[in-house]
Chains A and B, each alone.
Chain A
């Protein structure tokens, strides 16, 4: 969790977020939405070094549908070797629907856990209140699911400390620092450094940044001893004006950067060990 970790050759966990809940094929037709498409993208990313896949479910119209996560998980397990599956519990649906997304059989290895609400459009505020967060954390603990704590802004880091005090989390805490527009932390190297300095003891951090900030800030994360999330959920473009052809295209670039930094990517087993997962 420091520059020294980077110098000490700490392995970097690479997560691919294939789909998300924000965009559709009308924005980038290469975005995978259906279970087989998602699994195909995940398999290609696993071959390139991704250790974790963060996935969402969509219905036949491309709309958000947590009940489709079972089919997504099944398709990934069929096509992939050992990649860690991380289901979303984010978005704007009801608490019940978000819980349904982690009651797949078998349970996902991991699940995202938003540490507070954020705005979308003029009227949408996601319902991540403290009660819902604790309910999801309890469900994850009971089912042996490792939570990935999503910190959309620096106030959400206060909420991480609050949740730790409840005893619902196990070390190391896996914290995903998020940078972008709107309610997200403003994307800058200074803000990355500030959040990293304020992380709890015994935590590992991952970094995601949206759009054009994905490439530079995830690279900074590796240098600070952190981990990296890339993928079309967060960035639909390979470079300015050039839509991404696939999730693999983004993962391949990051794998090359990590290699140029003389770091190794963590295998799924390495990631399980780093994150204290059984």
Chain B
């Protein structure tokens, strides 16, 4: 399952492209090609296990709930 925090965008405050690129809504940054494989759970990657950004976001959300 693709990371729920992944979006495909053509622009942000700093950049504008003529195509959609992988974008992390946690860091508010475009994602590198290698990292995008984790976001998309390609190959043997799983964003829940392999993305430190996603893990930190989940932990932060849990802390907010406490």
Q: Which residues of A contact B (CB under 8 A)?
A: 21-27, 29, 58, 60-64, 91-94, 120-124
Nearest chain B residue, comparing its CB with the CB of A26: B30
Give A60 Cβ to nearest chain B Cβ, in Å: 6
B7-48: CB near A (< 8 Å → 1, else 0) gives 010000011010111100000011011111110101101000
**B49 interface contact, C-beta 8 A:** yes
Nearest chain A residue, comparing its CB with the CB of B50: A123
Of the A-B pairs whose beta carbons lie under 8 Å apart in the complex, a sample of 13, sorted by A's number, is A24-B33, A26-B14, A61-B19, A61-B36, A64-B34, A91-B34, A92-B37, A93-B37, A93-B43, A94-B43, A121-B52, A123-B51, A124-B45
Apart from A27-B32, A123-B50, A123-B52: 18 A-B pairs, beta carbons within 8 A: A21-B34, A22-B34, A24-B21, A24-B32, A26-B17, A60-B19, A60-B20, A62-B33, A63-B36, A63-B37, A93-B42, A93-B43, A94-B43, A120-B34, A121-B52, A122-B50, A122-B52, A124-B50
Give B51 Cβ to nearest chain A Cβ, in Å: 8
Residue pairs across A and B with CB atoms within 8 Å: the count is 69
Q: How many residues of B contact A (CB 8 A)?
A: 25
Within 8 Å CB of A21, what residues of B? 33-34
Instruction: Give the one of B20, B32, B35, B52 with max A CB within 10 A.
Output: B32
Within 8 Å CB of A123, what residues of B? 38, 45, 49-52
Give B30 Cβ to nearest chain A Cβ, in Å: 4
